[in-house]
Amino acid sequence: MYNLSTDWTADVREKDIAQAMAHAEEAGAWVEEARKELAKVVGAGESPSGHVKVTVTGEGKVLEISLQPPAKRLDRHTFVNEVLTAVTQARQDAAGKVHQMMREGFPGFDPTAITAGADRLMNMPW
């Protein structure tokens, strides 16, 4: 049973507060550094024919689509598939780089396993 009349602040020492503040500052600095590093991540992808190349940000936003002249002669369906395949590959490349950054920043953390677990939860019949 917890005694509400006890002064709970008696257990908190200045050293503990200072240590917690130092950890918070370190975490904040790491987050800021991670944001800067994430902004530098670029993923690249290429279509099966090699006529379409795509680059994306670490967040998966398309930066550039490069078309070789033969791509302009493809029928609409093939062209769309070429572009979508290149975008998908670029996003997978960027995600792999981001996951590697996370593994390096948090040893023992596996973002792929976390994502798979979240996907399983989202697809459960509740």
In a domain, 57, yes or no: yes
What CA–CA distances, in Å, run from 7 to 4, 16, 18, 19?
A: 8, 17, 20, 21
In a domain, 55, yes or no: yes
In a domain, 92, yes or no: yes
Residue-by-residue DSSP string for 80-98:
HHHHHHHHHHHHHHHHHHH
In a domain, 35, yes or no: no
pLDDT digits (tens, 9 = 90+) for 48-87: 999 999 999 999 999 999 999 999 999 999 999 999 999 9
What is the CATH classification number for the domain harbouring 73? 3.30.1310.10
In a domain, 15, yes or no: no
Mean pLDDT is lowest, of 7-21, 36-50, 108-122, for 7-21
**Domain that includes residue 97, residue range:** 42-122
* pTM to 2 decimal places: 0.67
Length of the chain (residues): 126
In a domain, 78, yes or no: yes
In a domain, 18, yes or no: no
In a domain, 21, yes or no: no
Higher pLDDT, 117 or 38: 38
Q: What does the alpha-carbon distance between residue 68 and residue 100 come to, in Å, rounded to a whole number?
A: 31
CA geometry: angle at 53 spanning 77 and 71, to 5°? 40
15: its two tokens: 């050293």
Could you give the dihedral angle defined by the CA atoms of residues 116, 119, 125 and 126, in that order, rounded to the nearest 10 degrees?
110
Residue of 56, 62, 25 whose CA lies nearest to 41: 56
Domain tally, the chain: 1
Q: What does the alpha-carbon distance between residue 38 and residue 59 come to, in Å, rounded to a whole number?
A: 8
Neighbours of 98 (CB within 10 A): 19
pLDDT of residue 5: 52
